[in-house]
């Protein structure tokens, strides 16, 4: 099994890339943002809490997100591996994921960092706002999402670099451009 973390600012293209890679290689795509949005749509207690947090651009608490992620991994029978999209987002989440997968003898094979400029990201988000109507694609929520990302998620680049796991993809171009670079990394990882 090969487990890959996909990191990057909001609108770096994590979800778009993961969908394509999961179809191409058979990975299971786990997007914690999507899990929370489906809880919101169902109107569960967790979903209602997520609405308050996500729509303002904040992060959900680690003590909710870490068990949620582990349960999802344990419940899966996928043999290729996971693409983690939007998890980990904090140092605590990163430490737990690293240790959890290590214990399962399925350690993280790579952390792909989708490196995008803020002005490129904001254009994509504002465009998506007109199409998908995601409540966190407003200007104030986008600013909060960036602040959360810079304070809590960006330090993970250093954390994973020290483990020798970071690989950077230039995510400022087309979806094909990001995909081509990520495919080279994954082909190398999957090579017997
Ligand atoms: P999440 O759903 O993960 O949102 P995000 O990180 O803000 O990222 P997005 O989904 O907006 O962007 P993306 O990088 O997936 O880009 P996409 O492919 O969609 O999380 C939402 C919220 O949930 C968080 O803010 C937090 O509150 C909570 N949450 C989730 N996980 C959590 C965790 N672990 N801990 C705590 N809280 C958590 O692309 C964006 C747009 O650009 C699309 O319209 C797409 O078509 C377009 N696009 C993509 N790539 C390209 C390209 N290369 N060229 C042109 N357009 C492109
Ligand atoms: Mg996404």
pLDDT of residue 43: 96
Given the CA of residue 93, which atom of ligand 1 is nearest to it? 34
Residue-level pLDDT at 191: 87
Ligand with minimal distance to 6 CA:
1
- Long-range contacts formed by 16-22: CB under 8 A, 24+ apart: 16/175, 16/178, 17/114, 17/175, 17/178, 17/179, 17/182, 18/83, 18/85, 20/175, 20/179, 21/83, 21/179, 21/182, 21/183, 21/186, 22/83
- Ligand 1 pocket member 175 (CB < 6 A): yes
Domain assignment of residue 106, given as a range: 3-190
Give CA separation, 177 vs 18, 52, 72, 106, 181, in Å: 14, 35, 30, 29, 7
Cβ(149) – ligand 1 distance below 6 Å: no
Count the neighbouring beta carbons within 10 Å of the beta carbon of residue 105. 7
pLDDT value for 192: 73
Q: pLDDT means per 10 residues in the chain (192 residues)?
A: 96 98 98 97 96 95 98 96 98 98 97 97 93 91 95 98 98 98 97 80
The pLDDT score that the predictor gives to residue 110 is: 98
The CATH number of whichever domain residue 107 belongs to comes to 3.40.50.300
Give how many domains the chain has, as a whole number: 1
């Amino acid at each position: 099994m090969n487990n890959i973390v996909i990191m990057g600012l909001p609108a770096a293209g994590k979800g778009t890339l993961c969908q394509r890679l999961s179809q191409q290689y058979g990975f299971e795509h786990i997007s914690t943002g999507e899990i929370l949005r489906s809880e919101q749509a169902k109107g569960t207690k967790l979903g209602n809490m997520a609405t308050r947090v996500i729509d303002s651009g904040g992060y959900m608490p680690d003590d909710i997100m870490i068990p949620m992620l582990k349960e999802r991994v344990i419940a899966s029978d996928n043999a290729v591996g996971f693409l983690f999209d939007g998890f980990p987002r904090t140092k605590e989440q990163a430490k737990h994921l690293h240790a959890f997968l290590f214990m399962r003898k399925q350690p993280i094979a790579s952390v792909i960092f989708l490196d995008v400029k803020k002005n490129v990201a904001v254009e994509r988000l504002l465009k998506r706002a007109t199409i998908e109507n995601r409540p966190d694609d407003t200007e104030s929520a986008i600013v909060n999402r960036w602040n959360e990302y810079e304070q809590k998620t960006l330090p993970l680049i250093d954390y994973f670099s020290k483990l020798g796991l970071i690989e950077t993809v230039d995510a400022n171009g087309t979806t094909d451009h990001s995909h081509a670079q990520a495919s080279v990394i994954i082909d190398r990882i999957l090579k017997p």
